[in-house]
């Protein structure tokens, strides 16, 4: 059994030119004259889409240029070609032939010379590693090293190019390839009998050593009976063994039109998962006479396309195992024929563009506080900032060239700065309009000192349609939403107690239904307390006739389903207010805000998580001064100190304590024109970080051999590059033709505290009437 014969699997070799004889003829392009070098060294831009590249349609068909443009050419990778030997003096292969090449039968390098009169082994090697020299055609992995192993039975090669091989010699050649550092083995041989145990054992050892082995599917001969080729030749079927681990790839052939070649054996139902196709028709290849005329056909020449592709992957990603390289080639192949795996094309056509692109779940490597390196999915790496941090331009710049790992632990560059999203859109006028039109309220008086207030939003614009077509449903329940209520109890001595659900501290301490401004007073620390799902309590008492004290406690939580994040907040606020005169009132507020899942209102997650939460202490100074009976001046200034709880696993760390501030200053007038109108004008700055920095860590380099990631860090400021200033004029007039007219005119400079955000002007007219 060890004497089983194998033969070459070339279907034909034809001349590309009009005449095959002689050494003349076209097809040779001279190398360009070297340009005079610049005095300053420059990095040359290499053009890979050349006539030499395009001559073999098989290169473009498998997307080889995707590897070349990444600087991957097969350098440092040894591909063993077990065949008829090689023309060691061929100019197209000079420099790419391993000195360990051998005639496995005689044990001599001298005898490695191609035994085939047609130069089968030389042509196959050329498809893999012919030099890129602007002459004729180059190989798939044109800088790889060919370990040529001549395993042809001495004297068996006939003038018509047929040679014979014994399984025992092929097995010895496989063992030799493993021992001499090959990463890929190309076997463009075949036979209709199963491999002998000797050869199977050698192939198994090669698989266990981590090699990828590409074998020809086989060629249909003219005298073969009908049905031949419906599945791979028997000599290729070791690829189906469990020990093959997918690392033995069976190569079928297609033409330039991506249709299976007439001569090619197919995947059948048995080999679909380990069967790939590549160009195998009329492939221009190196010939032993260097006439550069010959084009070969056969699965012998689709095989080296796949072997060369494997070599490119091995060079580009040294961390990959043979099994992973093969799996990448299968999983990224272009689907041909019936959808998915099929009995003709198997897994499909080699696609290096996809194979070189990230595959599987992508992640970012981060260091924990203990120095442990873990990976975090890029899908969760996100920051949503409503403005206190601005656009985080410094952080975005530091993250613009981050290292990403794909499902095969391969490194890629990713701009994580694009995952930072700033809300600089200005006020949502439609939402404000709908809210005001749909708001309803009611007061239930319990006694002279207690009442319950209800507020809700009712969607009744389509009530008639609802009642007409959907009367079988609970229409009222469907229409009512955003229900809020508060309980107020006046106590002896002027004290007061309130309890509310669905109202924030800011809403409970002010008039919930009245809202002069679109943005003024809505960008301070109190606005960071989540209203959704909130429970709020307030207690107040007079200290003296002119001094009042209140304390509020509010808790809320909200889940943002669209981004899969949630946050909770707890706000404790104390207010002390004193009437300095009948016209002048001043107040001091002290507060503590605890956020879980957010930092100053910013939501973040994954590798970009700013922090697990934050604790802020803040103080607000405010005043209200009546300039006259109709006009008053008001203002407030808040300043806070925030401590961020470090994220467990993030590229961000070492956050300073943050200081931040907000302010507003304005005028309110009533009945200035004698029309019962109320006019307000104010200038404000929403909450903005004034000081603070963080360290952004990133992978500076990677040692693929030891798989060690070397981290570096960069200190970046968290202070926004701009300052938002809002200027707003608000007017309200009752009795306007039987209705209430409200007008707001707002201009926002650097919205979101971002200098790159254009100014926003908004005008809102609201006309409402109850009936």
Residue positions annotated with a catalytic role: 83, 120, 300
Strands 12-15 and 184-187: unpaired
Cβ of 623: how many Cβ atoms within 10 Å? 16
* Alpha-carbon distance values, 267 to 136, 260, 671 (Å): 33, 11, 88
Read off the tokens for 210: 């981590």
Contacts of 242 (CB under 8 A, 6+ apart): none
* Alpha-carbon distance values, 601 to 255, 457, 642, 646 (Å): 59, 25, 12, 16
What is the rounded end-to-end Cα distance, in angstroms, of the chain?
Answer: 101
Contact 154, 133 (CB under 8 A): no
Contact 687, 523 (CB under 8 A): yes
Is residue 346 classed as helix, strand or coil in its secondary structure?
Answer: strand
CA distance 121 to 187: 10
Q: List the beta strands (DSSP E) in 704-756.
A: 708-717, 725-736, 739-749
CA distance 243 to 245: 5
3-state secondary structure labels for all residues of 278-334: EECCCEECCCCCCCCCEEEECHHHHHHHHHHHHHHHHHHCCCCCHHHHHHHHHHCCE
Contacts of 533 (CB under 8 A, 6+ apart): 502, 556, 557, 558
Question: What DSSP line would sit under 504-535, residue for residue?
Answer: -HHHHTS-SS----SSTTSSSGGGGS--TT-E
Question: Taking Cα atoms as reference points, which of 526, 694, 530 lies closest to residue 610?
Answer: 694
* H-helix or E-strand spanning residue 575: strand 565-579
Buried b (16+ CB within 10 A) or exposed e, 381-398: bbbbbbbbbbbbbbbbeb
Read off the tokens for 509: 């301490």
Q: What secondary structure letter does DSSP report for 87? A: -
* H-helix or E-strand spanning residue 463: helix 463-469
Instruction: Give CA torsion, residues 467, 470, 473, 475, to 10 deg.
Output: -40
Q: What are phi and psi of 545, to 5 degrees?
A: -65, -25
- The region, left, alpha or beta by phi > 0 then psi within -120 to 50, assigned to residue 147 is beta
* Residue pointed to by tokens 């206190």: 388
Cβ of 439: how many Cβ atoms within 10 Å? 16
CA distance 81 to 187: 6
Read off the tokens for 46: 């290499």
CA distance 274 to 244: 10
Q: What secondary structure letter does DSSP report for 418? A: G
Contact 264, 220 (CB under 8 A): yes
CA distance 733 to 674: 11
Is residue 110 classed as helix, strand or coil in its secondary structure?
Answer: helix
């Amino acid at each position: 059994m060890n004497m089983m014969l194998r033969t070459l699997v070339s279907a034909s070799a034809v001349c590309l030119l009009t005449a095959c004889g002689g050494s003349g003829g076209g097809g040779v392009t001279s190398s360009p004259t070297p340009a005079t070098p610049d005095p300053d060294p420059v990095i040359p831009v290499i053009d890979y889409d050349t006539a030499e590249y395009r001559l073999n349609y098989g290169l473009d068909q498998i997307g080889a240029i995707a590897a070349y443009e990444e600087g991957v050419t097969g350098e440092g990778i040894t591909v063993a070609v077990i065949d008829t030997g090689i023309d060691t003096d061929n100019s197209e292969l000079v420099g790419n032939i391993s000195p360990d090449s051998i005639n496995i039968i005689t044990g001599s390098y001298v005898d490695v010379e191609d035994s085939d009169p047609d130069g089968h082994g030389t042509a196959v090697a050329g498809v893999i590693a012919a030099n890129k020299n602007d002459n004729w055609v180059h190989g798939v992995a044109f800088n790889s090293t060919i370990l040529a192993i001549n395993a042809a039975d001495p004297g068996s090669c006939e003038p018509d190019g047929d040679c014979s091989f014994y399984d025992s010699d092929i097995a010895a050649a496989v063992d030799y390839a493993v021992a001499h550092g090959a990463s890929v083995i190309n076997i463009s041989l075949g036979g209709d009998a199963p491999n002998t145990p000797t050869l199977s054992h050698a192939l198994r050892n090669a698989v266990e050593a981590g090699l990828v082995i590409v074998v020809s599917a086989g060629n249909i001969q003219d005298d073969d009976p009908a049905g031949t080729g419906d599945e791979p030749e028997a000599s290729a079927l070791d690829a189906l063994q469990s020990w093959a681990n997918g690392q033995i790839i069976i190569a079928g052939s297609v033409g330039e039109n991506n249709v299976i070649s007439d001569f090619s054996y197919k995947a059948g139902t048995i080999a679909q998962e380990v069967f790939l196709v590549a160009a195998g028709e009329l492939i221009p290849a190196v010939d032993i006479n260097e006439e550069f005329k010959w084009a070969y056909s056969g699965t012998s020449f689709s095989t080296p396309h796949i072997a060369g592709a494997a070599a490119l992957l091995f060079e580009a990603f040294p961390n990959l195992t043979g099994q992973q390289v093969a799996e990448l080639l299968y999983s990224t192949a272009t689907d041909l024929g019936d959808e998915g795996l099929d009995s003709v094309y198997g897994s499909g056509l080699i696609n290096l563009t996809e194979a070189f692109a990230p595959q599987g779940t992508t992640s970012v490597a981060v260091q924990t506080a203990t120095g442990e390196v873990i990976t975090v999915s890029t899908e969760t790496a996100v920051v949503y900032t409503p403005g206190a941090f601005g656009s985080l331009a410094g952080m975005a710049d530091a993250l613009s060239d981050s290292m990403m790992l794909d499902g095969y632990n391969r490194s890629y560059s990713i701009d994580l700065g694009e995952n930072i999203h700033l809300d600089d859109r200005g006020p949502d006028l439609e939402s404000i309009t709908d809210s005001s039109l749909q708001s309803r309220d009611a007061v239930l008086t319990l006694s002279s000192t207690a009442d319950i207030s209800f507020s809700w939003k009712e969607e009744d614009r389509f009530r008639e349609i609802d009642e007409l077509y959907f009367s079988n449903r609970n229409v009222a329940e469907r229409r009512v939403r955003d229900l809020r209520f508060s309980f107020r109890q006046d106590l002896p001595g002027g004290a007061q107690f309130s309890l509310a659900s669905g109202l924030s501290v800011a809403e409970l301490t002010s008039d919930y239904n009245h809202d002069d401004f679109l943005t003024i007073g809505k960008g301070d620390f109190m606005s960071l307390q989540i209203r959704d799902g909130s429970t709020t309590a307030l207690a107040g008492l007079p200290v003296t006739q002119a001094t009042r004290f209140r304390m509020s406690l509010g808790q809320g939580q909200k889940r943002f389903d669209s981004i899969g994040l949630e946050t909770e907040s707890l706000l404790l606020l104390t207010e002390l207010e004193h009437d300095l005169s009948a016209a002048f009132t001043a107040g001091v507020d002290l507060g503590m805000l605890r956020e879980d899942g957010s930092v100053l209102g910013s939501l973040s997650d994954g590798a970009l998580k700013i922090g697990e939460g934050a604790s802020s202490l803040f103080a607000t100074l405010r005043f209200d001064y009546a300039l006259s009976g109709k006009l008053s001046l008001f203002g407030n200034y808040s300043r806070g100190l925030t401590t961020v709880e470090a994220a467990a696993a993030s590229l961000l760390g070492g956050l300073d304590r943050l200081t931040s501030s907000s302010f507003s200053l304005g005028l309110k007038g009533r009945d200035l024109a004698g029309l019962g109108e109320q006019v307000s004008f104010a200038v404000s700055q929403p909450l903005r970080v004034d000081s603070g920095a963080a360290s952004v860590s990133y992978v500076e380099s990677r040692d693929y051999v030891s798989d060690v990631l070397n981290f570096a860090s960069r200190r970046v400021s968290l202070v926004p590059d701009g300052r938002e200033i809002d200027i707003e004029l608000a007017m309200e007039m009752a009795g306007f033709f039987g209705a209430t007219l409200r007008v707001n005119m707002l201009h926002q400079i650097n919205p979101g505290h971002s200098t790159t955000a254009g100014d926003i002007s908004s005008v809102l007219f609201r006309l409402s009437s109850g009936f």
